[in-house]
Amino acid sequence: MKLIVGLGNPGAKYARNRHNIGFMALDRIAQDHGFTAWKGKFHGSVSEGRFGSDRAVLLKPETFMNNSGQSVQAAMKFYKIDLADVIVFHDELDLAPGKVKCKTGGGHAGHNGLRSIHAHIGADYDRVRMGIGHPGHKDAVAGYVLRDFPKADEGWLDDVLRGVSDGAADLLRGDKGRFMNAVALRVSPPRSGTGSKGAKTPQESKPQAKAAKPAVPEPKVAPEPEAEAQSPLQKLMDRFR
């Protein structure tokens, strides 16, 4: 069994915040894969389901971001889940919007949700880092992550969430390569056709033969008038001229 955690803050006020992209990922997975309705447990919301024969528990901690570890620890204890079977989806300032990367272990890089999880269960769990971009200055980070995604971001955001859901079963089985490929197919789908953009067809690329000049018709020459028929006497006189 795997425990899949999405980080965010509870309540409608925060639902579309950049900081809540982890919640959004789990909502998409639960919806697409027929998981159970969300129920309040372990200081959070829980949904259960399967990917084939693989069972998974989805957890959205509702202790607010700074205390996420409390909820994760309670769920791990109840289901007897090892640290190696925990996967956390979270927002990542150091990745461009639309970029997704997987990681195991490492530091929390100042992310308060990860900081809390580290403190409660340790650092050696799997993570899915979901890029939201950086505001450019550290003093602007708090306001940036607690603002909603703008409408201009809705296209790539929907692609990322669908890709994460497409590859969730592979991630659960530990095949991170196939998971990342599923995300890439949504975010950057292959172009149709194999030719280069604007390439000419063979027929188009061949030089066009010069059009033959239309033949100028020769002027019609009027037939010479036939000589008038001569009498026998005129013929005889012509012989002696």
Task: Read off φ and ψ for residue 40, nearest 5 degrees.
Answer: -75, 115
pLDDT at 117 over 80: yes
pLDDT in tens, 33-69: 999 999 999 999 999 999 999 999 999 999 999 999 9
The pTM assigned to this predicted structure is 0.79
Which has more pLDDT, 232 or 10? 10
The answer to whether position 199 is within a domain reads no
Containing structural domain, residue 145: 2-187
The answer to whether position 73 is within a domain reads yes
Mean model confidence pLDDT for the chain = 87
The answer to whether position 119 is within a domain reads yes
Which has more pLDDT, 34 or 211? 34
pLDDT confidence band for 206 (50 / 70 / 90): very low
CATH number of the domain at 34, please: 3.40.50.1470
Would you state the pLDDT for residue 189? 87
The answer to whether position 230 is within a domain reads no
pLDDT at 186 over 50: yes
Asked whether 88 and 22 are in contact (CB, 8 A), the reply is: yes
The answer to whether position 240 is within a domain reads no
The answer to whether position 26 is within a domain reads yes
The answer to whether position 53 is within a domain reads yes
Asked whether 120 and 81 are in contact (CB, 8 A), the reply is: no
Structure token digits, residue 89: 């989806």
The answer to whether position 218 is within a domain reads no
Catalytic residues, by residue number, are: 19
Mean pLDDT of 63-84: 97
How far is residue 54 from each of residues 44, 60, 62, measured CA to CA in Å? Answer: 22, 20, 26
Please tell me whether residue 183 adopts helix, strand or coil conformation: helix
Half-sphere exposure of 108 (CA within 13 A, CB side): 18
Count of the separate structural domains present in the chain: 1
pLDDT at 193 over 80: no
Q: DSSP state, 3?
A: E
Write down the residue that tokens 């592979």 correspond to.
Answer: 170
pLDDT in tens, 216-228: 454 454 444 444 4
DSSP string, 40-107: EETTEEEEEEEETTEEEEEEEE-S-GGGHHHHHHHHHHHHT--GGGEEEEEEETTS-TT-EEEEES--
